[in-house]
Structure formats: C-alpha cells, structure tokens
Structure 1
Amino acid sequence: MWVVKLGGSLSRDPLLREWLRELSELGGGRVVIVPGGGGFADQVREHQSVWRFDDVAAHNMAVLAMAQHALMMQGLCRRLVVAAREVQIRHALHEGRTAVWAPFDLLRQQADMLTNWDVTSDSLAAWLANRLNAERLLIVKSCEIDPARSVAQHVEQGVLDRRFAHFSRDASWPLDILGKNDWPRVRELLLHAATS
C-alpha cells in the first residue's frame, strides 16, 4: 500500500484531475490519497487570525478542510472512494479501488501533538503511512522540487511542515518528494511495482 499526499495547492490546478485519474487507474488496490486542505485550510488560517480562536478549533477545522478536499476529489473522479477509517481504506483497496482519506478520526477535544500549525497534511500523511504500515510515501507539491535536498532542507524552505521530520524519522517506507509535473516518475514507480 502506498500513501500519496496531493498538496492542497493543487486544488485549483488543472493537473489535479490528471493526477486523480491516473492514481485511480494505476493505483487501484494499492494507493491511498491524502488530500491537503487547499483553499479550505487557507480560510481556517484567515478566520483564526481574525477571531483568535484556539489551535484545537483550528485543527478541527483544518481536518474538515482536508475532508472537503477529499469530497471534491471524488467529485472530480468518481472511481475514488472516500474513506475515513482504516477499515474503510483497507476495504476500498481490497476492492481494487483507490481510497481518498477523510481524516474525521483526527478531530480533537483537547490539544495534543497534532493540534497546531506545525503539523499540516504533510505530517498527517506520514502519520497515516506509519499507522497503515505503508510500503511507500509520496508527497506531491505544486512547486519544483530539488531531489538532492534533504527532508531538513525542505522543512527549512517551508516545502514541508516543521513536524514532518519527526513523523518520518525511522520510517520503514521510502519517501519521494515530487513536483506536480513529476507524474511520469510516479507512473514508472507504479508500473514497476505492479510487475515486481
């Protein structure tokens, strides 16, 4: 099973539809998509700056932003299955489908290590990859990615969130950080995995 995080910045990009189509076709039975919060999460940040509500509320709203993006993705590609819980994810994959995670189980009543802006959907994708014992994690961003840069350098440049290194440290899965135009590489990886 692979976890593929599609950055929220792709939510208004025409390439999103292509990524979803290809992942649903080539990733059926083995890919779980983690949606970023996109413009929905930007609204959370904006409203928190106006109203100054706490980070637990902001976290819950950002989780719902990810779920909204998951529903939008399914609206764009009906072959995708929105799945909130691990059992639903595994069922979708067992049926040969590609799952899109709507992380409702991450809603919180009290603050914990996930409920601050140092943790975004990047870290949540790593958290899910650990929880599902994934074989691989791919993080897809809308910006150009220098493959020579380390995780720490990507964090320092703001490409990845500040807690990503914590969630990816000592992971059993290989990590690929990719740009939105790197679909040919992902296709090659998926096709190679299918034949090996």
Structure 2
Amino acid sequence: MRTVLYKIGGSLLSDSSLFNRLDAYLSQREEDEFPLLLFGGGPVVDVVRGYDKQYGLGEESSHQLALQGMELNAALAVDRLPKAFPVYSAMELEVARRKLTGRPVLFVCSLIEELEEHKELEQNPNGLLPPTWNTTSDSIAAWLTQKLRLDELRLVKSITAPVWQELKSGTSLAVDPEFSNWLDGIPDLTWLDFQTESELVYLKSSTGKLG
C-alpha cells in the first residue's frame, strides 16, 4: 500500500464542509493508499505575518510561530476529521505506517526538530529547512516526503495545478519559492484542486507519467 502525504492548503479551512468532504475523499481511496495529513497555516499564519510586520519579529522567529500555527490547524483536524489522530515523532509515525489504520495528522514542530537533528542531516546543511518566509507548508511537505521516504506528495489546494516547468524553475506562484529545491527528492507529485474537486493531476511520477 502506498503512503501518501496529503498537504491540505490552509485556505481550504475557510470551508466548513472541508472535513466532511475530505473524509469522503479519503474513504474512497483507503484500499490503495495510507494517508498522512499535513495542514497548512492559512489564516493563522496570516496573523503571524501581521505580527512580524508590527513587531519586527524576524524571519526565524516568525517561522517558528508559523509552525505552531500549523499545529493549531492540525489539532482542529484531529478534532473534526473521522479516524484522525496526532503524530508528533518519527517513531509514532513508523508505528502508524506499520499498522496502516486511521489517519495520522502530522504535528510539525517536534517532528521537524527530530529529523533535522539526524546525523545525516547535520553533515549536510543543504538538507535543513531554511527558517524563512520562503519556506511555507508546501516546502515542509516536500521536505518531509523526501526525509521520510514517502511514496507520494499530494498537494490539496483551492487553485488549479500549475505548469510543471514553472514548478521546476521555481517561478510558480502556486507554491512557495523554496519548493523547487526539494522536487528531486519526491518520487510522485500530484495536485488536487479541492475547491472544484476536479481530476487528480499528475505533475511528477517515478514511472515517468506527467500531467
């Protein structure tokens, strides 16, 4: 069974039907996929951006607050999405992947800290996430897909899929500027416009399929 990281765009949280629709979508695919869920910051992170401008927090402090904002949305998902449960560490995630039950929701603060402390990453500074505003939940999801050796990253957004060449070149406005730096480490990348619930778009595939 494939392990798929669903990165849920924070803007989708403005739709009160999100969790019901997400439950229905995941239920249709549960025989073929084991989902991991990562929720973006959305309006919560917009508050952090405002604080940064008002108080001059700086990018590193703002980045950490934004991660905590993502965890607030993760807690909301655990409360509202059927079968959802929190995952705070690589060990908890490994147990969940062995059991293949439920819907793990990733709490990123401790998980990222743990993975960045790994000796392999310490010897490779390029393997660390830059703590800047250019690193949003898109890049975090791509980074986690690579570091956790997941089968696929599925970006669930409220907009249509971008052109592949724009993603590759880092010029797409549909993702953050840092995202292209992690593309090579993603086996499969798909895009779902959950605003219109259109067809899944294949952007990158280990089998060579592109959409």
Shorter chain as denominator, the TM-score bin is 0.7 to 0.9
Q: Which residue of 1 aligns with 2:84?
A: 80
Query: Hey, which of these two has a bigger chunk of strand by percent?
Result: 2
For structure 2, which runs of at least 5 residues remain unmatched after alignment? 117-127, 201-211
Q: Which residue of 1 aligns with 2:64?
A: 60
Larger CA deviation: 49-58 vs 20-29: 20-29
Counterpart CA distance in 2 for 1:135 and 1:158 is 25
SS at match of 1:134: coil
| 2:52 counterpart (44, 48, 51) | 48
**TM-aligned CA deviation for residue 177 of structure 1:** 2.0
Q: Report matched runs for 1:89-128 at 5 Å.
A: 89-95=93-99, 96-105=101-110, 106=112, 113-128=129-144
1:179 corresponds to 2:193:
yes
RMSD of aligned alpha carbons: 2.4
**Cα distance change on mapping 1:172 and 1:77 into 2, 3 Å:** closer
Q: Which residue of 1 aligns with 2:171?
A: 156
Q: Which residue of 1 aligns with 2:151?
A: 135
Q: Which residue of 1 aligns with 2:23?
A: 21
1:167 corresponds to 2:182:
yes
Percent identical among aligned pairs is 22
**Cα distance change on mapping 1:35 and 1:122 into 2, 3 Å:** same
TM-score (norm 1): 0.81
For structure 1, which runs of at least 5 residues remain unmatched after alignment? 187-196
**Count of aligned residue pairs for this structure pair:** 180
Q: Which residue of 2 aligns with 1:194?
A: none
Which one scores higher on RCO, CA 8 angstroms, separation ≥ 6? Answer: 1
TM-score (norm 2): 0.76
**8 Å contact from structure 1 (residues 24, 79) kept in 2:** no
